[in-house]
Each structure stands twice: as structure tokens, then as C-alpha cells.
Amino acid sequence: MPSSFPPFVISIFFNKSKGSVMANIFVPFPSSPSHKCNIMLWVSMEGKETEGMLKMTTDKRQQKRIRSDREDERDRLSELPDCVVLHIMEFMDTKYAVQTCVLSKRWKDLWKRLTYLGFNTTLFNNVVKFNKFVSRVLSGRDGSVSLLNLEFTRCGMAEPKLFNRLMKYAVLHNVQQFTVSLNLSFRQSFEFRPYIFSCESLTFLKLSFNSFDTSIVALPGSLNMPALKSLQLEAVSITARDNDYAEPFSTCNVLNTLILDGCSLHKDAKFLSISNSSLSSLTISGSFEGGAYKIALSTPNLSSLTVTGHNNHTISSACNLSFLEEVTIDTLGYTLFPNTDLLIISWLQVLTNVKILRLYSGTLLTILRDISNPVSVSTQPPCFVQLKSLILANQPSADISFDQLKRAVEYLLQNSPQRRID
């Protein structure tokens, strides 16, 4: 008997009439409750063995429990097809997905066929290890497999060489979704090569740069991204093609969502044209760094507009925005800029076809200040011809009294045929 066999207890019963001996053995197995075995040995009345038979039986419930234990110990993940395992791995950060290569021979090269790559410096002790890891993944990945989604988050200062290599790799492997978040606050320059702006397979692009100087990363005057549906830009400079006039989005024929957060115009251009017949959602978030410029809309299918931040842009429209469903204005602080009297009121006069209008208390206080200005005497209040709901949201930082609220609402709705306040 092997020395590793667990301790057991034997109970023996004699049956003289049948000439048999029956032994009950109780063995406590480490992985399950005590396991009962019955061993029956046939002997002659004289005590000599005439027929030997060893029979082991188990309780049915115990058999079921054993099978269940064995099922639990199975490597179910390795039994799945590669396509399913890869799909599961793509919910992991790439660092952990690559680490699965040590599990077995089957897993050694599985990560090389990932269609999602996510790189985040917060998972690494230092930037040297992070840069080496990114380079090794790009070099070791199976180049015949398309790259559907790439995310790159760099909390510290980014290396232009590595980032530009990443962009080039994404374009060459037909990336569809590309998300970048970089900290450029302490850089005076950054050699940004615009590979990504000519990516014909791209459907989603988010470029977020934490920088006090928005001119470091410049958007070209025209974008060659025919499949692009969603574009988010933060702290990016937009290049004007001629005569201080920038119009970069007109070539994105299926663009649906556009978010501009703290963006400026390159070399102090004065006009930004947002011209796109497919655009339905637009967000403009202003900042002190972005500067002041005029925005001209040519977006006949626009259904949602959000204006936030320190916004001092004048907004005009070449169409009546007849499909405009919802407008949200949450802007405060543009009063610090010169020549911005009646700015919000001028926006509302462009957006008179809106059906749902949401205004924050800081915005209402600014409107009250403007209508108290003698300059406003010659300015007509907006006429909201399709307005169904006016939603007023209070802000702790811009508390408004009931009388002030009432006055602002009366001004906004005095020319509107329908009045409903939420």
C-alpha cells in the first residue's frame, strides 16, 4: 500500500451460512467527505480461500459528488475555441492578456491574435518598462490580424517616437477605434505626425491632450477619414486652410458625433465652419486656452447641441436647424472676455427650433445680467416656435433666487407659443 494513502477504518462481518467475510472500509479523502467502500471476500468454511473476488461499490450520492468534483477541476477555459478565448481576453488590459502566454503551449502565441490592444501606464512601475512593453507587443503581434480597437493612456510625459509608431501601426493594420490620452502639460513641443487623420478604416477617434498650449497638436485642414462616425478632440489646434477659415469636417461623410473640448484655431484663425450634413450630435466645450473665434454651423440634421465651459464663441447657422431636438447650455465665466455682451441670447436666437431646452442656473444669471444691460433694449427675446419643455437645473456654485428665476423664464418665453417648465 502506498505510504501516501490516507488512513482508513475497517469493520469485518462473518457470515458462516454463506461462508463469506464482508469488510466495510471508511476512507476520508482530502477532496471530499468520507468515502465508503465495501469489499467482499469469499472463503470456505475451513478457512481456505476457494474463490477470491474483490468488489468495490460506492453510494450513488457519493458517485455523483465525485463526478461533480471532477467536473469542477476541469479546465473549461482551455476547452473553448480560440475565437471565444480571444474574445474573453479582449476584456483584459493587454498587459494581463500577454501574461497568459506562460499557461501552456496553446496559450503561448494566442495573445498575438488580439484585435484589441490597451496600454495604460498606471499598470507599470516606470515609463521605461511601459515603453519596452508597448514596443515588444507591436513587434510580436501577428501582423496579418486586423487591429479593431487601440487605446493608449499615458499619465506622464509621452515619447513622440513611440506614440507616432503606435499611430502608424494602427493605420497599417486597419484600426477602427482609436483612443489616446496624453499629458503634454510640461512640453514645449511635440512632434505629432498626423498618420491617423488619413486612416480610411477608422470609425471612432478620441484624442485627449492635457496641455496648456493647444497649438502643440494640430489637426490638418482636411480629414481623409471616410468611415469616421464619432470624433472627440480635446486641446487640439485646428488648422485653417485659407483666409483664416477652418473647415476640417466636411469630408467626413458619415460623421454622426462631434465633441470639441478646449480646442483652438491654429495660428489665430478667426472662423471655424462645422459643415456636415450627417452630423446629429455636437458638443462645444470652451476653455481659456482655446481663445475666441466664430463658429458657423451648416448642419441641417443636427438633433443635439451641448455648449459648456468658458465659452466665448459666437455661433451662427446657415440653416434653420429644423431637426434640433435638445439643447443644453451650461456655461459660466465668459464674462471675463471682452465683447461678449448678449452672447448666450444670440445663441438662443439661432436655436429657436429646439424642442427641449436645458439651462443651468449659471447660464440664467448671465442672461439676467445681459437683459439688465441697456444694450439689450434693442434686442428681441428669442422666439421658440417648437419648444415643448424648458428644463432649469440649479448649481450650488451659481445659486439663483425664485424672483430671479421667474424673471429669466418670463423673458425667455414671452415670444414662445408653448410654455412648459420642468
Among candidates 263, 264, 259, 308, which has minimal Cα distance to 282?
259
* Cβ atoms within 10 Å of 20's Cβ, excluding its own: 15
pLDDT at 244 (0 to 100)? 82
The reply to whether 42 and 86 lie within a common domain is no
What are 209-253's pLDDT values in tens digits?
Answer: 887 777 788 888 889 999 999 999 998 989 887 778 899 999 999
Shared domain for 58 and 37, answered yes or no, is yes
Examine the pLDDT at 52 and tell me if it is beyond 50. Answer: no
User: Distance between CA atoms of 19 and 332, rounded to whole angstroms?
Assistant: 101
More confident residue, 333 or 114: 114
pLDDT tens string 113-171: 999 999 998 888 888 898 899 999 999 999 999 999 999 988 766 678 888 999 999 99
Local confidence band at 373 (pLDDT 50, 70, 90 cut-offs): confident
Total domains in the fold of the chain: 2
Task: Tell which of 151, 181, 210 closes a domain.
Answer: 210
Q: Is residue 225 part of a domain?
A: no
Q: Do residues 167 and 114 share a domain?
A: yes
- Mode of pairing for the β-strands spanning 20-27 and 35-42: antiparallel
Q: What is the DSSP letter of 244?
A: T
Question: How far is C-alpha 118 from the geometric centre of its chain's CA atoms?
Answer: 11
First to last CA, the chain: 83
Same domain, 46 and 151: no
Residues 88 and 194 in one domain: yes
- Whether 131 and 201 share a structural domain: yes
Report which of 229, 163, 156 is spatially closest to residue 196, judged by C-alpha positions.
Answer: 163
Domain boundary, last residue among 73, 88, 111: 73
Residues 96, 42 share a domain: no
Question: Residue 189 in 3-state DSSP?
Answer: coil
**Torsion over CA: 163, 164, 169, 171 (sign):** positive
193 plus 97 within the same structural domain: yes
Residue 188's pLDDT is what? Answer: 58
Q: What ranges make up the beta strands (E) of 148-290?
A: 149-157, 177-183, 204-210, 218-219, 230-234, 237-238, 245-246, 257-261, 264-265, 271-275, 281-286
Backbone angles phi, psi at 365, to 5 degrees: -65, -35
Last residue of a domain, one of 19, 46, 73: 73
Is residue 293 a part of any domain in this protein?
no
Domain of residue 170: give its range.
80-210
pLDDT attached to residue 194: 84
Pick from 119-123, 376-380, 411-415: least confident: 376-380
CA-to-CA dists, residue 4 to 1, 33, 165, angstroms: 8, 18, 58
Q: Are residues 87 and 181 in the same domain?
A: yes
For residue 166, give the C-alpha cell: 503606435
Q: How much is the average pLDDT of 385-391?
A: 93
Looking at the structure, tell me whether residues 61 and 156 fall in a common domain: no
All 3 cell numbers of residue 163? 506614440
Considering the domain architecture, whether residues 175 and 137 belong to the same structural domain is answered as yes
Asked whether residue 356 carries a pLDDT value surpassing 90, the answer given is yes
Tell me if 167 is assigned to some domain. yes
Tell me the average pLDDT across 75-90.
82
Where are any strands of DSSP class E within 97-148? 116-120
**C-alpha cell, 8:** 482508513
| Tens digit of each residue's pLDDT (9 = 90 or more) over 263-304 | 988 877 889 999 999 999 999 998 766 677 899 999 999 999
d(Cα 401, Cα 64) in Å, to the nearest integer?
Answer: 72
Give the span between the Cα atoms of 237 and 239, in whole angstroms.
Answer: 6
Q: How are beta strands 204-210 and 149-157 bridged, if at all?
A: unpaired
